[in-house]
Structure 1
Amino acid sequence: MINRFSFSYFVLSFLTGITTVLAQAPLTIGSDRELFVDRKLIESLDGAQVILHEPVDQGKVLAFDEPWEGAFSAYVTILKDGDLYRAYYRGVPTAGKDGNDSEVTCYAESLDGVRWEKPNLGIHEMAGSRANNVILANAAPVTHNFSPFIDTNPDAPRQQRYKALGGTSSSGLVAFVSEDGIHWQRLQGDPVFTEGVFDSQNVAFWSESERQYVCYFRTWTGGGYSGYRSVSRTTSPDFIHWSEPEAMVFGDTPYEHLYTQQTSPYFRAPHIYLAIGARFMPNRKVIGDEEAKLLGVDPKYYNDCSDVVLMSSRGSNAYERQFMESFIRPGIGLQNWVSRSNYPALNVVQTGAEEMSLYVNQDYAQPSAHLRRYSMRLDGFASLSAGYAGGEMLTKPFVFSGEKLEVNYSTSAAGEIRIELLDAEGNSLPGFSMKETQPLIGNEISRLVYWNKSTDITPLAGKPVRMRVYLKDANLYSFRFH
């Protein structure tokens, strides 16, 4: 006969066993490219570390200098559509209430992401002429923060290939659709979502990994308007009916004001969402009154400062803030330290065989307001790194699919990377040991890993494995089984 104590012990042992099994269950990564923007796969580090890389300032690419644009132009979205780059942004020459009638949505395009032009679209009359780049006017408050995306949902109608959300708390989020990305119309008369603050960019996309539309939008946390500007998330199967919102959580990192979050799938690893957002520091005043006058800054816009931060998510309502440090610091010069400057545009796009670019609003509330380009190597947000003394990373158990292992890496002339494949318990697998791997030396976006002069890892596909990476004066940016 089982007494109460023995029965309780049996249940506890059973549940503990289940928990242990679940904790040790291998991750499934398939043939996805894995980055080091989070620690999803990392079991341990010994002499190695994950470091954040700083984008390179490539200078001004787009001035907000048309009469309908001006010093308060903001909330830029960059889309790469085949060989054409598209930029969408708010134009408004003077400061006013959010969603006022003078706000318009402007458009620019580029063939390389570097040299941009503002086409004369002939859609709306501005300053007595239709020779302008305005795609939406007289549509307040949608034009306050109109944010489009290219719908990659395979079931999306061709006439709705482009979708967008815009609006403030007074209107809710209004859905727009377009076939060509230039001419837009409302998807329906009523807003599609109303449970948020919405007073900055509210971003949406079709998630390949979640098989649904996802929207990240502005909320407050920790006491309403006396708390912190933060982010919530909602999902939809059809872009019309949205779920109850969930507040995003940030692990054990401290709250900071996030004015924009710019969450979107990384184009080379769409299962990873990158949030390259604006960290806002209210009442952190850097420039004085006389300095502001010399710069021509609007008197209301130099009591705060901001910079760019990097977060990531793999779906659900969780961000990982692996790095609290700034991703892009404000540039040299007091003009970079005014309120609401240094706000990043939505999306990272490829602008070369080895290069990607992101864009940042600068000189806000000043006559010199413009968009600036920053470049990075592909996958180069963060890397696994070790110095001359060397270091190692051991991954958690995972299951992959594919025949080869491809890496994006760099070493010094004296450095190297060696990769060993292990079983789930951490035992070296014959034919894939550290001694049998060919050292990786050089600087390549894509290179295959060899063991015993072969790249074939087919016998290990579908089985739980671990990976041990040894680095000496080297960086590993990403890896992928395919």
Structure 2
Amino acid sequence: MLTDHMNGTGFKMLFAVFHHKCTDAGIDELQLDRRMIMFLVPDNLHRINVAVEQNIEQQRTETYLDVQLIPDYWSGIGRSRQHATSLYVRVEVRIFPNCITKGKRIVNCLRYPIRMYSMRNRIYGEAVLPVFQFKTIGVASERPVLFAMDDHYFPLKNGVCHYMSKPEIIERPVLARSERPDAPDSLAAHFYGTVLYDEGKYRMWYLGMSLDINPDMPAQELELHRKKTNASLGGIMSGPICYAESDNGIDWVKPNLGQLLYKGNRNNNGIDLPEAFVHAPAVIKDEDDPDPNRRYKMVYTYIYNTGTIGRSHTSRTATSPDGIHWTAGKMGMIDEALEHSSFYKVNGLYVINGQALSGERRSEGGAPLGRQATAWISTDFDNWLKEGVDSFRLLENQAPSERGTRKNYDQVHLGVAPIVYDNVSVGLYGLWHHCENPFADTSCDFGIVISNDGLLFREPVKGHVYISSQESCATPVPGKQLNTVLCQSNGIINVGDETRIYHGRWRNAWTPEGVTDDYSGEVGLAILPRDRYGALGLIPSRKEGSILSLPITFPDEHFSLMINADGAKGIRVEFTDEHFRTIPEFSGENGGIVSKDGLDQIVEWPTNQLRMLAGKTVRMRLKLEKQDQVEPRVFAVYLVK
């Protein structure tokens, strides 16, 4: 029922049964014969308001139906100003995710018209979504962000080049290992983890490590560890998952959760899960799930398989009502050994992004594959596809015999960890400089990637090191030269006018004999002005330049355009049709101007209103001109309804 160009965005079928129960003084009962309206809407919505237009003896009336989500179907109760015996041909659905109503007034509502038709005593509807459409790349979005560094949205350029940003690095760690020897993070506070800004508070889940085994761990797991003498763990205790909180995101507190029995007491910030040896807690807050007990969702790695199905060192899910008390899901959900950096939700899909460890994924010709990014997908969080996505790849060695995780060349560590916008995802990958012997010479930087579907990523500037391990290095050990391995995870968040990049700094003191106290893990922070990952600006030798977008179909309603830029006085915005013909009403002297630098600066039009372009397909041209020795730089364009 919904057109194909919606590009797989998460939609669900709604069955709205309009009951005819209604009592109110002076208002007659609405008769709808319990007929059912079925339609598709985005799957992140919880409540709708339906305005039913009726035609009774040439008099037009409206009935408002408040429809709430209940398991498996939606039901509504209507109130009408006049008695009605049948439903007229047109229904308009007003959808608002925040479920805020005050009497008959709808606050923050989005209007979604429904085209109606009847068949077999049922009325069917087709959602007509007021979205911005980018048909050439198969994307539709309510709140699109067009990053200037994204060559899918701005493929045509003249006289401009990329200027990638340098985030401000906070030198000291924002979270470090505990000094208490009986703490679960006495060796390392690894950011194989997550930071959320949740209800006015920063919350962090991270991986604790210690040199000593927890004697209170499950006996079966302890026996497995002793038998296997896992060399990759180097004699350390990987786990438990730990929790911390902060009011400002810089000064953190490790609360006493009183859950986990660790070395004889529960006075720690560890989270109690079925396994003791764990890794990589990636957490999201899922506002779309109607079950409050599944509000927080986590994917983590368990090292040893203590069950009867599946394999070791693979992912497991968990759910929680509060992010503190967790219920683990089933084991064996993915039949591959893997190590992930991130877990996120995009276009109605749950995605794990990481590196495969089982050796079952291969490079061209069936040769071994180095560390590369793979994405695993689920539609319901419980059942995961066997097929994975080749999410991002660096070049493999030309010689097949020189490929593989133990060979000395650059690889993708832990996959991609993105922040998800409505139409685009921006992420970091680990640029792993592998050295097999000695392994302590291995280091890792960050590269930056972008995606229009959250699955297939590409570099806006190939080979660009976004944050190096020299810029954000682990706390040094006096008198020793130890490499830093940067670790990306669920750590890119937007708060206010900042983009914060929380990341791990692993001090690589690994030796064949095992690790010592020189080994450590800590959480670092890099900060950008919001959404300023990179810009397009004039080539140094040029005074003028321009960029031209792909075709954009505007919604048939009022909208505005905002820009994130510096040197804004040297930027003008124009429109052409999709075949590059200038639209005079929005070009030249009629072009849009930006009066201020910064985030969310409105584009003003001197003579015409953007409403003239509603429903039309156009291209956007940004003209850049150097004025008063000020260089214009465009970071992002926002289309806002």
TM-score (norm 1): 0.81
**Is 1:376 the counterpart of 2:528 in the alignment?**
yes
After superposing the two structures, state which structure 1 stretch, 86-95 or 55-64, moved more.
86-95
The 5 Å alignment of 1:392-403 reads 392-401=546-555, 402-403=558-559
**Unpaired runs of at least 5, structure 2:** 1-133, 213-229, 304-310, 397-409, 509-517, 626-630
1:330 to 439, 455, 469: 469
Paired amino acid for 2:441: N
| Contact 1:262–1:346 under 8 Å retained in 2 | no
Corresponding residue number in structure 1 for 2:152: 40
Corresponding residue number in structure 2 for 1:217: 354
Corresponding residue number in structure 2 for 1:186: 328
Which secondary structure state, in structure 1, belongs to the residue aligned with residue 384 of structure 2?
Answer: coil
> How far apart are the structure 1 equivalents of 2:300 and 2:447?
24
> How far apart are the structure 1 equivalents of 2:174 and 2:601?
33
The 5 Å alignment of 1:164-243 reads 164-167=298-301, 168=303, 169-170=311-312, 172-188=314-330, 190-194=331-335, 196-198=336-338, 200-207=339-346, 210-219=347-356, 221-222=362-363, 226-243=368-385
Corresponding residue number in structure 2 for 1:290: none
Paired amino acid for 1:356: T
After superposing the two structures, state which structure 1 stretch, 318-327 or 387-396, moved more.
387-396
| Contact 2:210–2:237 under 8 Å retained in 1 | no
2:422 to 263, 266, 270: 270
Shift of the 191–37 alpha-carbon distance from structure 1 to 2, 3 Å rule, reads farther
> How far apart are the structure 2 equivalents of 1:384 and 1:430?
25
Corresponding residue number in structure 2 for 1:248: 390
Q: 1:175-209: CA deviations, max 9, x gaps?
A: 11111101111123x33222x331x33532232xx
2:414 to 224, 245, 260: 260
Q: 1:200-246: CA deviations, max 9, x gaps?
A: 33532232xx2222222322542789431012223222111112323
Paired amino acid for 2:153: L
> How far apart are the structure 2 equivalents of 1:91 and 1:71?
8
Give 1 or 2: higher strand fraction: 2
1:344 to 488, 504, 516: 488
Corresponding residue number in structure 1 for 2:62: none
After superposing the two structures, state which structure 1 stretch, 25-34 or 76-85, moved more.
25-34
**Is 1:468 the counterpart of 2:606 in the alignment?**
no
Aligned-pair distance for 1:89? 1.1
> How far apart are the structure 1 equivalents of 2:589 and 2:170?
42
Which secondary structure state, in structure 2, belongs to the residue aligned with residue 218 of structure 1?
Answer: strand
Aligned-pair distance for 1:62? 0.8
Larger radius of gyration: 2
| Contact 1:123–1:135 under 8 Å retained in 2 | yes
**Is 1:49 the counterpart of 2:178 in the alignment?**
no
The 5 Å alignment of 1:351-430 reads 351=495, 353-365=496-508, 366=518, 369-386=521-538, 387=540, 389-401=543-555, 402-411=558-567, 416-430=570-584
Which secondary structure state, in structure 2, belongs to the residue aligned with residue 136 of structure 1?
Answer: coil
1:149 to 284, 304, 324: 284
Which secondary structure state, in structure 2, belongs to the residue aligned with residue 459 of structure 1?
Answer: helix
Shift of the 313–43 alpha-carbon distance from structure 1 to 2, 3 Å rule, reads closer
Q: Which has the higher contact order (CA 8 A, sep 6+)?
A: 1
**Is 1:110 the counterpart of 2:246 in the alignment?**
yes
Corresponding residue number in structure 2 for 1:162: 296
> How far apart are the structure 2 equivalents of 1:24 and 1:180?
41
Corresponding residue number in structure 1 for 2:452: 314
| Contact 2:148–2:535 under 8 Å retained in 1 | yes
**Is 1:62 the counterpart of 2:199 in the alignment?**
no
> How far apart are the structure 1 equivalents of 2:383 and 2:419?
22
> How far apart are the structure 2 equivalents of 1:138 and 1:24?
47
Paired amino acid for 2:327: Q
Paired amino acid for 1:105: I
> How far apart are the structure 2 equivalents of 1:284 and 1:321?
27
> How far apart are the structure 2 equivalents of 1:186 and 1:453?
60
> How far apart are the structure 1 equivalents of 2:623 and 2:147?
17
| Contact 1:250–1:320 under 8 Å retained in 2 | yes
Corresponding residue number in structure 1 for 2:196: 79
Which secondary structure state, in structure 2, belongs to the residue aligned with residue 270 of structure 1?
Answer: coil
Aligned-pair distance for 1:149? 1.6
Q: 1:419-473: CA deviations, max 9, x gaps?
A: 111111212213211322354354220111112166x301112211011111131
Paired amino acid for 1:183: H
C-alpha RMSD of the superposition: 3.0
Shift of the 37–87 alpha-carbon distance from structure 1 to 2, 3 Å rule, reads farther
| Contact 1:233–1:245 under 8 Å retained in 2 | no
**Is 1:120 the counterpart of 2:264 in the alignment?**
no
| Contact 1:411–1:441 under 8 Å retained in 2 | no
Aligned-pair distance for 1:26? 8.9
The 5 Å alignment of 1:78-97 reads 78-94=195-211, 97=231
Corresponding residue number in structure 1 for 2:601: 447
| Contact 2:148–2:637 under 8 Å retained in 1 | no
Aligned-pair distance for 1:138? 6.2
After superposing the two structures, state which structure 1 stretch, 326-335 or 116-125, moved more.
326-335
> How far apart are the structure 2 equivalents of 1:477 and 1:303?
36
Which secondary structure state, in structure 1, belongs to the residue aligned with residue 293 of structure 2?
Answer: helix
- The sequence identity of aligned pairs, in percent, is 21
Which secondary structure state, in structure 1, belongs to the residue aligned with residue 169 of structure 2?
Answer: strand
Q: 1:360-414: CA deviations, max 9, x gaps?
A: 22252436642111100111111121256121101122212342111111118xx
> How far apart are the structure 2 equivalents of 1:259 and 1:435?
50
Aligned-pair distance for 1:111? 1.6
Shift of the 370–313 alpha-carbon distance from structure 1 to 2, 3 Å rule, reads same
Q: 1:57-91: CA deviations, max 9, x gaps?
A: 12321112243214444212112212111111111
Which secondary structure state, in structure 2, belongs to the residue aligned with residue 375 of structure 1?
Answer: strand
| Contact 1:306–1:341 under 8 Å retained in 2 | yes
Shift of the 105–279 alpha-carbon distance from structure 1 to 2, 3 Å rule, reads same
Paired amino acid for 2:337: V
After superposing the two structures, state which structure 1 stretch, 227-236 or 253-262, moved more.
253-262
**Unpaired runs of at least 5, structure 1:** 1-21, 286-299
| Contact 1:360–1:372 under 8 Å retained in 2 | yes
After superposing the two structures, state which structure 1 stretch, 445-454 or 154-163, moved more.
445-454
> How far apart are the structure 2 equivalents of 1:374 and 1:316?
23
| Contact 1:151–1:163 under 8 Å retained in 2 | yes
Q: 1:294-338: CA deviations, max 9, x gaps?
A: xxxxxx752211101111222275211222211101236796785
Corresponding residue number in structure 1 for 2:73: none
| Contact 1:248–1:319 under 8 Å retained in 2 | no
| Contact 2:392–2:415 under 8 Å retained in 1 | no
**Is 1:457 the counterpart of 2:610 in the alignment?**
yes
Which secondary structure state, in structure 1, belongs to the residue aligned with residue 589 of structure 2?
Answer: coil
> How far apart are the structure 2 equivalents of 1:25 and 1:145?
33
